Structures are given as structure tokens and as C-alpha cells.
Amino acid sequence: MPNIQKPKRALISVSDKTNLVEFAKSLENYGVEILSTGGTAKILREARIKNIEISDYTGFPEIMDGRVKTLQPKIHGGILMDRSKKNHLADAEKHHIQPIDMVVVNLYPFQQTINREGVTEEEAIEEIDIGGVALLRAAAKNFKHVTVITAIKDYSLILDELKNEDGICLETRRKLAIKAFEKTTHYDETIASYLKNKGGAVELLNLHYEKSHKLRYGENPHQKAAFFRDPANHYPNVTNAKLLQANKELSFNNILDVDAAIKIVSDFSRPTVTIIKHTNPCGVASAEEINTAFEIAYNVDPKSAFGCIIGMNRPCTEAIAKHIVSNKLFVEIIAAPSFEEKALKALETKKNMRLLAIGDLRLNPNDRDIKTVSGGVLVQDADQYVVTNHDLKVVTTVTPTPNEIVAMLFARKVVKHVKSNAVVFATYNPKTKIEQTVAIGAGQMSRVDSVFIARHKGGERLKGSVMASDAFFPFSDGVEEAHEAGVSAIIQPGGSMRDSEVIDKANELGISMVFTGVRSFKH
């Protein structure tokens, strides 16, 4: 088997016509006969490049609106014949099948189609490429004799080898075959994922991620790490964010923290800021203006905010930037939809601070939460449930005031993003319209300990606040601890075997309590 293969005949059928004319013209100059399908043939004819249309070559027209055009023995026989086997060559001669040495295909743009707003399922299905995938697989299988090209960027690679080697070497054909199989695998996964999201059952989990870049290390310096991205996910997130100040790359832990920050502020429609440490918020505030929300959120727990990540759902302003610089705040990263030019100028002095422009925030309705365990993965829908007034059930004799309900719903949004066992104390000022956390208790083995820690952090500020719990109170001691801190209302899911005991304790202490029926554990 020769290592170098000089192509005599190429089949070109491309959806993306970028650089097509230049590439085909070069092949023509090297004496390669070109076969092509309808749209490709039209472009080549207009460029006065000789080519034979598939229907003329096979003697069979394209049918069914182009769904069937290359699925034909003269095409696939020409691609799949093993030129080292006499019986293959005899079959080819008997049925007048000519060898095809090169296949150039880029597939129908299924991903771009389903990314369009308002696209129907029928429109999406029409963009599922059948013939193109079959051509790629056939050519890749027979890489010993056929060169398969799936990417426009590989045109130059092929032309360089034709120029320098007078053909395509086996090593290149093998690499391009691998690329073709990876392409068709990802293409099928994208289609399957789309149909699953339309209501199909999940029987097989396919995870396709591309390596974005190597990280300096993982959670700790002795751990090697890399960052992989989902090429099909085009939503605003940490993966797709633009790094504006690149003096220092994001670390493994930075990426986790920024992801947590973005998820929190994406849940709020009002101008909102969160301060993140170790994926937990140490302060969150919503206000009429993003500048106010920032100052309130940062000052909830300024001691914990040392070396923090700041997330906001409005553009970062000059005022916020100047506040950070003038007060010499140690901030690792600011993640915002965008940055005012004057804010960027003000932050230039913070050489090691990273600025991430995320774009206009919106939730991905198909987002999944994937956790690894030894030997497997756990997959669930992302927790995007937002508790509203309609979920609330007052279970105490004391009814919460309208202002307490606003504060409780705010606290409930925040507690969803805090590691369990979690409690969040919050207030709402109707005059300033500021919603804010005043203390957060995170990640304790006992819920009463989470309340105790938050009480220690919040001190006198907790008087008159409300408290949200991510899960039910197994005992009434957490309610007693909250009462001693000065809490006036509690929001929790309910569902404990001791709910009646917990409710009785709230009534005894004069605290209003509402159940939501919705738990939000975060492990």
C-alpha cells in the first residue's frame, strides 16, 4: 500500500461555501476531476471550474427535495472500494464504478438552526444531514485509499501536501479520518440532545467537550487540570465569557467561583450584585441602581469578601470601579454583562484583577447539573425553580407582612445557591427598595449550626430580618435560635415528620412561617 495517495477524483458537497472556489480551483490545477452536488456545482460553474454534477455522474436525479442525492452505489462504491482487493476491483469494473479518492463535506448547519429564535421542530429536522454523514463515514472508513476533509481550515493542509509531496500521506489521511468520525459523533449527539429536550427518553448519556486550555493546576497545586467547553452551548456563562484584562489567567477555583456568581445574579431581574467566596455568597443585594446593590452586597460581610469574586447582572460602572480602587479592595475577579469604558480605565491599575464580560444574562432552559463519582456521573436538571407568592402557604397563626414576603422571596432565591445545610437572613426596606442578605450560614452538618454561624456573623443586624432555609427543620431548635437572633418570619419547604412541633414553636415565639413545598439542597 503506497504511503502517498495522489487524488484523481474528488467529491465536493459543502454547506458552508467559504474558500470553496479557491480550493476547487487548486484541485483542478492539480488535475483532479471534481464531482459535486447541486448548490456546490452551481458555485463552481459560476467560477468556471470544471465539475460533474452528481445526478449526471450517477444517471439518477436528486429526489425528495434533495434528501436523496449521494446515497447511490456509484458514489459509495467509488469511496469504499479497497483498491488492494481484486474482487473489489472486479465488482467496480462490472458495475462501471470509478474510484473516488477525496471526499470534501461540511454538514448541514443543524446547531446554528436550532440556536435561532422561534425555529420549529420541522425546520430543525430538515437540517439533519443524512447523505453528508454517510459520505464522511464511508471515506473515513477507507482512509487507506481516500482523503476525507470536514473542515475548511484543512484545505490549506491538503494543498500544501499536494504541492510538496505530490499527494496526501497516510498519516494525514488517518488524522483526517479520526476528525471525520469525531465530527459525525458530535453531530449525532447534538441531534439526539435536541430531540431529548423535546420530550425523548434519555437512555444513553453522551458528553462532548472540547479542550479549551490547560490550567496551571487544579483545586490544589499538586493536581493537574484542564478546562473543557461544550461547543454546542452558546449561552452567556463563564465558559463563553470574554477575559478583558488577561495579565493573569483564570484558575480552576476561579472558574468555579465565577460560575456560582453568574448563576446567582441570573436569577434576579432587578440590579443585583453577589460577592462570592469558595462558591458561596457572602453577600447579595438588589436595588434600584447597580452601584447601590454593589455597596450593600460588599458590606454585608467585608471580612469574608477579602479576595472575592464579584458578580453583577448589570454593566460594571465607573463608580463601582473607583470604589474598588480608592478603597483598595482585594477583588480577584469582576464578572458583569459588560464594562463601561471609564470603568475599564479606572481598573487598569489593578493589574492582577480579571474582568469577565459575560454578555446579556439569560438562563439556559436545557442546562444540566453533572456531578462525577468514582466510575460514573450523576445528571439532573439544573435547579432553576423560582419560588413565587403562589407557592407560599402560611402555616402559623401570625401572617407575614407584605414587606416580609418580599424579603422572604429574596432570601429563598439566594439560599438555593448556598451549600447545604443553608440558611439566609435577609431584609427589605420599602423606602429604599433595597433587598439584601444580612447573614448567611452555609455547609454545616447540622441546620441549627448553620443558624448559629449566621447569627454570629450578623449580630444586631438580624433583628427584624427574615430567614430562609434550603430544607425543612428537623427539630424546633433552629427556630429558637432564629428567634433569639431577632427573626420575625421564616420561609422553608416543610415536609418534616416534626413539622407540627416546628410550627407550634413558631406560634409560641410569635414568628410567622410559610411553607413552599420546594427543597433546594446543594451538595
Q: Assess whether pLDDT exceeds 80 at residue 510.
A: yes
How large is the average pLDDT for residues 477-482?
91
C-alpha distances in angstroms, 26 versus 29, 30, 34, 102, 364?
5, 6, 11, 14, 44
Copy the grid coordinates of residue 54.
Answer: 452528481
Query: 190-242, pLDDT tens digit by residue?
Result: 787 777 777 655 555 667 788 888 999 999 999 999 999 887 788 899 999 99
How large is the average pLDDT for residues 381-397?
93
Least confident of 100-104, 205-209, 364-368, 425-429: 205-209
**pLDDT value at residue 249:** 87
Copy the grid coordinates of residue 160.
Answer: 500544501
How large is the average pLDDT for residues 252-257?
95
Residues involved in catalysis: 141, 278
Torsion over CA: 318, 305, 294, 354 (sign): positive
Cβ atoms < 10 Å from Cβ of 338: 15
Copy the grid coordinates of residue 405.
Answer: 414576603
Query: 270-289, pLDDT tens digit by residue?
Result: 999 999 999 999 999 999 99
Choose among 276, 335, 334: nearest CA to 306: 276
Q: Are 229 and 207 in contact (CB under 8 A)?
A: no
Burial of residue 371 (number of CB atoms within 10 Å: 0-12, 13-18, 19+) = exposed
Q: Are 46 and 60 in contact (CB under 8 A)?
A: no
Stated as kind and residue range, the H or E segment containing 437 is strand 434-441
DSSP 510: T
Rounded distance, CA 235 to CA 263, Å?
Answer: 12
Burial of residue 492 (number of CB atoms within 10 Å: 0-12, 13-18, 19+) = buried
Q: Are 266 and 251 in contact (CB under 8 A)?
A: no
Least confident of 4-13, 33-42, 61-70, 187-196: 61-70
- Residue type at 235? Y
**pLDDT value at residue 204:** 59
Rounded distance, CA 209 to CA 181, Å?
Answer: 15
- Residue type at 254? N
How large is the average pLDDT for residues 484-493?
95
Tell the CATH topology of 4-197.
Rossmann fold (3.40.50)
Contacts of 351 (CB under 8 A, 6+ apart): 245, 247
DSSP 483: H
Burial of residue 145 (number of CB atoms within 10 Å: 0-12, 13-18, 19+) = buried
Residues facing 485 on adjacent strands: none
Contacts of 385 (CB under 8 A, 6+ apart): 416, 518, 520
Tell me what percent of the residues of the chain surpass a pLDDT of 70: 97
**What are the domain boundaries of the chain?**
4-197, 210-357, 383-515
Copy the grid coordinates of residue 206.
Answer: 453522551
**pLDDT value at residue 2:** 54
Stated as kind and residue range, the H or E segment containing 4 is strand 4-5
**pLDDT value at residue 360:** 92
Residue with cell 463515514: 137
Choose among 365, 155, 191, 332: nearest CA to 266: 365
Copy the grid coordinates of residue 140.
Answer: 473515513
**pLDDT value at residue 199:** 64
Cβ atoms < 10 Å from Cβ of 476: 19
Copy the grid coordinates of residue 446.
Answer: 447540622
CATH architecture type of domain 383-515 = 3-Layer(aba) Sandwich (3.40)
**pLDDT value at residue 1:** 43
Choose among 312, 285, 286, 287: nearest CA to 300: 285
Mean pLDDT over each residue of the chain, to the nearest integer: 90
Cβ atoms < 10 Å from Cβ of 445: 8
Choose among 383, 384, 385, 432: nearest CA to 406: 432
Rounded to 5°, angle at Cα 394 from 391 and 396: 155
pLDDT band for position 183 (cuts 50, 70, 90): confident
Model's pTM, two decimal places?
A: 0.70
pLDDT band for position 324 (cuts 50, 70, 90): very high
- Residue type at 390? H
Rounded to 5°, angle at Cα 111 from 108 and 174: 65
DSSP string, 322-343: HHHHHTT--EEEEEES-B-HHH
Q: Do domains 210-357 and 383-515 have the same CATH topology?
A: yes
How large is the average pLDDT for residues 353-382?
89
Torsion over CA: 466, 383, 471, 201 (sign): positive
**pLDDT value at residue 209:** 82
How large is the average pLDDT for residues 162-182?
90
Give the torsion through C-alpha atoms of 484, 489, 494, 500, to 10 deg.
Answer: 60
**pLDDT value at residue 415:** 96
Q: Helices in 85-238 by DSSP H: which ranges?
A: 86-94, 110-115, 121-126, 131-141, 155-165, 170-197
Displacement of CA 244 from its chain's centroid (Å): 20
Q: Which contacts qualify for 113-119: CB closer than 8 Å, 24 or more apart?
A: 114/190, 114/194, 115/234
**pLDDT value at residue 491:** 97
Cβ atoms < 10 Å from Cβ of 204: 7
Q: Assess whether pLDDT exceeds 50 at residue 337.
A: yes
Tell the CATH topology of 210-357.
Cytidine Deaminase; domain 2 (3.40.140)
